[in-house]
Chain A
Amino acid sequence: MTDIVLYFATMIGIYTIAAIGLNFQYGIAGLINFGVVGFFAIGAYTSGLLTLAGAPVWAGLLAGSLVAGMVSALIALPTQRLNVHYWAITTVGLAEVIRLILLNEDWLTRGSFGLVGIPRPLDAIVPAGYQTAAFCALVWALAVICYLALRLLVSSPFGRVLKAVREENDLALSLGKPVFSIKVRALAIGGLLIGLAGALYAHYLTFISPADFLPTVTIIMWAMVMIGGRGNLAASVVGVAVVTVFLNSTRFLKDVIALDPQMIASLRMVVIGLLIMAIVVYRPDGLFPERKKEFADGDTPAGR
């Protein structure tokens, strides 16, 4: 029983890091990243490959996060010239190219066999029996740090400019804000988090393959963010929990209902798709919309 609870807690922690990264990009800065899974994969493979080659896990996590952040900054380049729809298409394409590279460059990624035996951090220092709990604690510690950092950013002048870019790109420009470099930064920061989540995913499962990074993962992460509430970082954890629990609990449904497991898998995704559409139509701001920032007399703007 504790095993299952720990599994859920760890997975929710990992996806929360990715989801708040995506929510920062979309909810705060208004940038549509439909290639989330690509950055998740970059984080996972970078850290997996480095640690398999002997690097310490902390270095792997850091590198996974940084590489994803850098590639993420790169996708900002065409935002200048493309309208948002074309840009969204290019992010999908980028994720697909990343997956194809993972699949085809066997010499580096071992192709569809994937990476096996990725080390788990803390296994060496934590006594047996407490290792999964320790990993879960590590994930949540990182999640909390990421969340607090993002919250600081959102409430800072930087965050305000991001919101202005989200609301009215030209307005921000007309007031002297360097919109392009702001977008680069917002994408990079989101990418750092998504990459970190991917790296943690790799070290948690200890086995990854291109099949873990199908386009569906992107849509699932979007469902998490949309359900929680765009622009409300804390609410993302609710979206993540709802979706994760739903996706996993239905795995046990096959014991109850006599349905083909393949059928159940499809129906799960049918529900996720329906959820996204329902949210868009009925509650476009999610279950917990972004809160309005009100200033009482004598308040300080950058206060918490």
Chain B
Amino acid sequence: MATPLLAVERLSKSFSGFHALQDVSLEVGEGSIVGLVGPNGCGKSTLFNCVSGFLPFDAGQVRFRGTPVGGMAPHRIARLGLVRTFQNGHATKRMTVLENMLMAAGGQTGELPLQALLRRPAIRMQQTALLGRAREILETLKLTRVANEYAGNLSGGQQKLLALGRAVMCDADLIMLDEPAAGVNPTLVREFVSMVRDLRDRSGKTFLIIEHDMKFISGACDHVFVLSAGRNLSSGTPAQVQRDPRVLEVYLGKRHAAVA
């Protein structure tokens, strides 16, 4: 079998004695759309943080295209082609949507000060091309109308779209989305799902998506991993997982608690 694009191997992480992740393993094959679900506080975002280098982990390993990335700085991991988004927006108050998109592109000439001063013609050419690409992506994300707005002024849903746009602009191979549908209206959620599938089908992007919305998961994902209290609970196709009694217990248990 080919090496998966992303392999998380028995990952463990604790916060001063509290085990947020214990022996968590999962694989994401190239070109797949994989869901990561689980009750609030079960460690999904923590897993993202460990995988993307924002948090050091205690044990286990993370491999991207077979290369171990544990201990690597976040920006280096991103440059390998693994880009994550954040659960809480990270909206830039004083940068427009287009500026966000242009900033996200990797390997730009002129990201160093001396280049910026001396290599004007090269920069100009590259930037023109990038601007064209940014506009195209914004078009598919239906963000053209707000291209010149400050990103901080967008609605929550638009910010999630922008985060996706930045990841695409950054030429990520694996895009990890943290709750992209939270607080987004249902129509937009359906569009979001089709955009994600489109990006996979046309550009060969791979996705790992944290989501609570089961419609999103069933609509978008080929495969789902379920975490509970920092451990692997179940995995399979969305349909399989939804029928798994262990998963039902975790979720229905919660629902009963919510009713009571």
The judgment on whether A and B are partners is yes
Hey, which bits of chain A sit against chain B, CB under 8 A? 149, 152-153, 156-161, 163-164, 166-168, 170-179, 185, 189, 231, 290, 292-295, 299-303
Tell me whether A179 and B75 are in contact in the complex, defined as CB-CB below 8 angstroms, given that A170-B54, A294-B96, A295-B98 are known contacts: yes
Tell me whether A163 and B120 are in contact in the complex, defined as CB-CB below 8 angstroms, given that A157-B111, A173-B54, A174-B52 are known contacts: no
8 A Cβ contacts from B157-171 to A: 166-167, 170
Verify A168–B75 contact, CB threshold 8 A.
Answer: no
The 19 listed contacts between A and B (C-beta, < 8 Å) are A152-B116, A153-B116, A156-B110, A156-B116, A156-B117, A157-B110, A158-B111, A158-B113, A158-B116, A160-B95, A163-B95, A167-B94, A173-B54, A173-B75, A175-B104, A176-B79, A231-B94, A292-B94, A300-B124
Verify B108–A157 contact, CB threshold 8 A.
Answer: yes
Interface assignment of B92: CB less than 8 Å from any CB of chain A: yes
Verify A164–B84 contact, CB threshold 8 A.
Answer: no
Chain B residues whose C-beta falls within 8 Å of the C-beta of A167 in the assembled complex? 92-95
A90, B246: Cα distance in complex, Å? 53
Chain B residues whose C-beta falls within 8 Å of the C-beta of A176 in the assembled complex? 75-76, 78-79, 83, 106, 170
A173, B84: Cα distance in complex, Å? 10
Identify B103's interface contact among A160, A290, A299, A302, CB under 8 A: A160
* A-side interface mostly: helix
Name the residue of chain A whose CB is nearest to the CB of B127: A301
Verify A293–B99 contact, CB threshold 8 A.
Answer: yes
Name the residue of chain A whose CB is nearest to the CB of B92: A167
Tell me whether A158 and B148 are in contact in the complex, defined as CB-CB below 8 angstroms, given that A168-B90, A170-B90, A171-B90 are known contacts: no
Hey, which bits of chain B sit against chain A, CB under 8 A? 52, 54, 73-76, 78-79, 83-86, 90-96, 98-100, 102-104, 106, 108-113, 115-117, 120, 123-124, 127-128, 130-131, 147-148, 150, 166-167, 170
Chain B residues whose C-beta falls within 8 Å of the C-beta of A295 in the assembled complex? 98, 131, 147-148
Tell me whether A173 and B96 are in contact in the complex, defined as CB-CB below 8 angstroms, given that A156-B110, A302-B120 are known contacts: no
Q: State how many angstroms separate the Cβ of B88 from the closest Cβ of chain A.
A: 10
A157, B91: Cα distance in complex, Å? 19
Verify A174–B131 contact, CB threshold 8 A.
Answer: no
Chain B residues whose C-beta falls within 8 Å of the C-beta of A175 in the assembled complex? 75, 78, 83, 103-104, 106, 166-167, 170
Verify B127–A157 contact, CB threshold 8 A.
Answer: yes
Verify A163–B99 contact, CB threshold 8 A.
Answer: yes
A259, B90: Cα distance in complex, Å? 53
Name the residue of chain A whose CB is nearest to the CB of B108: A157
Chain A residues whose C-beta falls within 8 Å of the C-beta of B73 in the assembled complex? 173
Tell me whether A158 and B92 are in contact in the complex, defined as CB-CB below 8 angstroms, given that A152-B117, A163-B99 are known contacts: no
Tell me whether A301 and B103 are in contact in the complex, defined as CB-CB below 8 angstroms, given that A158-B113, A163-B94, A175-B83 are known contacts: no
10 closest Cβ pairs, A-B complex = A156-B116, A176-B78, A167-B92, A301-B127, A157-B110, A157-B108, A176-B79, A158-B116, A160-B103, A171-B90
Verify B112–A292 contact, CB threshold 8 A.
Answer: no
Tell me whether A300 and B131 are in contact in the complex, defined as CB-CB below 8 angstroms, given that A159-B116, A163-B99 are known contacts: yes
Q: State how many angstroms separate the Cβ of B131 from the closest Cβ of chain A.
A: 5
Q: State how many angstroms separate the Cβ of A72 from the closest Cβ of chain B.
A: 13
Verify A185–B112 contact, CB threshold 8 A.
Answer: yes
A94, B231: Cα distance in complex, Å? 48
Q: State how many angstroms separate the Cβ of A55 from the closest Cβ of chain B.
A: 26
Verify B74–A164 contact, CB threshold 8 A.
Answer: no
